[in-house]
Structure 1
Amino acid sequence: MSAKAHLRQLGQLGQRRAKAKAAWRSLSHRDQRLMLAMGAFLLAMLVWLGGVKPALRSIDHWERELPRLRSQAAALQSLLAGVQVPPAGADVAEALRESLDNQGLRGHYQLGGDARTWRLQFDEAPASATLAWLRQCGQRFNLNISEAQLLRASSDTRSTDAGPQGSIEGRLSGFVRMEQAPGAKEAS
């Protein structure tokens, strides 16, 4: 933009300003007060519509949404509390041993392997406890059973607390090979 064009625009702006002052002075004192009140009202409406009302609407929205979100978070938290995160790396061996011991298999197994493949040797382990543990180990530890050879041991014991005739608690011997499930994180 040239200097002449800039000066011309400033001149036009000055003329408009002078016309506005003249129009303002031509108004009566009462009309000037009405114009100021209308200007203040328009400014207040702009502030209300542009700032305050959207903020109040947002507050109302979140006051309705927060209790719902909190109840969903509580439900999700209780759901996640029941999920057991599989241990990583060297902790897997300790977690497997602890799980086997808690299932009542202490002294009936030998565990060996690394972070991806595990071999579990059973020696006359209670059949019900062994099978119960095998059913839940895949989900809990992200392990898939790749091979299993379990045989009924010859020294079954008769349980007398199951009723007058008793029931036979089977014993199993053999091995189970487990591998880390596809998609599970490797130990680092």
Structure 2
Amino acid sequence: MARPLSEEKREAILAAATELVARLGTSASTAKIADAAGLGEGTLFTYFPTKDDLLNQLLLEIETSLAEALFASSKRSGTPRQRVQRIWDCLIEWGAEHPLQRKAMRQLRVSDRISAENRQRCHALFRDARETIEQSLSGRVDPERASFYIDTVMMGLADIAIEAIAAAPKQHEHFKQAGFDLFWKGVAA
């Protein structure tokens, strides 16, 4: 009879993978990940049969964490600006509080090791927040540009704001608001 898998070991592997992918990218070896988790490489493969399985699960776990945080902020009450700002604020706070996860997520999102199926699952996690933003921007932006504004402009400005906050933490609120103001005014242009 096989021994049950330990959730503690699984979490240690994911934590080590987060740190190493954030620092080294997806080229971080499974041997280094296992060592950082305090386990043998064979144990890692007991939990994740391949490196791709590990990387895909890591992205899913990180994006689930972010999506859960955003879900709480995507209430449809308030003005369109207030709805989008709640999501923005949550995005900035999550990124500032989870720097390693954010860096690892950025590495994983551009990796060819992430399956199309996993990308779709991750994208689906943000459906509610995305719908709230799209509805809030309705009548304010050309519908054909909404995806560009959300996926490229908003996420790019969020990264810039989070980096500015990391460099000057005492100006956290200033950078968070400045980034949002730039987005909100920019989409109306």
User: What is the TM-score of this pair, normalised by structure 1?
Assistant: 0.19
Higher helix share: 2
Higher strand share: 1
Tell which has more relative contact order, 1 or 2 (C-alpha 8 A, sep 6+).
2
Please identify the structure whose Cα radius of gyration is greater.
1
